[in-house]
Amino acid sequence: MGKSQTFKDRPKPPTPEQILKDLSSADGSDVIFHQQYPAHVSAAASVPSERLQAHSSGEDHSIQSPDESRSHDQAVVNFTYEQVKQLITLYTKLKEEPKEMNILYEKLEKLGDEVSLSIEELKAAAENVLLKTKKTKK
């Protein structure tokens, strides 16, 4: 371990053009873009390219007004909150499932035993009928 490690510089973050290009070219089955950010995907195509270039060069900072930004941030927070609530609900249900599965399994075993017993009773009754018909023929 005598060698000291050096880390490369982090890559530059994507430009707004690259982000919007990714959003607009996202496949319909892409869970991240289409489930988490549907508004972004649909809005990606509506942003004019001149505006993107101006924004990426630092000339234009007005893609969203402060009110739009706050409203968008609140929407993202609400959306994330709802997703967390759904996750907690699913986790709770999954936690309960093994108990439910054991109860259902026991019921199935009981029904299987009852069916086996019924089959044995039917076989015995059928043999009884056969024996009686053989005795009456003789």
Give the residue with greater pLDDT, 48 vs 26.
Answer: 26
- Classify residue 18: in a domain, yes or no: yes
Give the residue with greater pLDDT, 77 vs 41.
Answer: 77
Total domain count for the chain? 1
- What per-residue confidence (pLDDT) applies to 24? 73
- Classify residue 39: in a domain, yes or no: yes
Using the 8-state DSSP alphabet, how is residue 10 labeled?
P
- Classify residue 30: in a domain, yes or no: yes
- What per-residue confidence (pLDDT) applies to 4? 67
Using the 8-state DSSP alphabet, how is residue 59 labeled?
S
Which tens digits make up the pLDDT trace of 67-122?
666 777 777 788 888 888 889 988 988 988 999 999 999 999 999 999 999 999 99
- Domain containing residue 24: 13-63
How far apart CA 70 and CA 62 sit, in angstroms, is 14
Using the 8-state DSSP alphabet, how is residue 58 labeled?
T
Return all residues near 47 (Cβ < 8 A) that are at least 6 apart. 20, 63
Using the 8-state DSSP alphabet, how is residue 4 labeled?
P
- Cite the DSSP H helix spans in the chain: 16-24, 31, 38-44, 49-56, 66-137
- Classify residue 101: in a domain, yes or no: no
- Classify residue 26: in a domain, yes or no: yes
How far apart CA 54 and CA 47 sit, in angstroms, is 12
- Classify residue 6: in a domain, yes or no: no
pTM exceeding 0.75: no
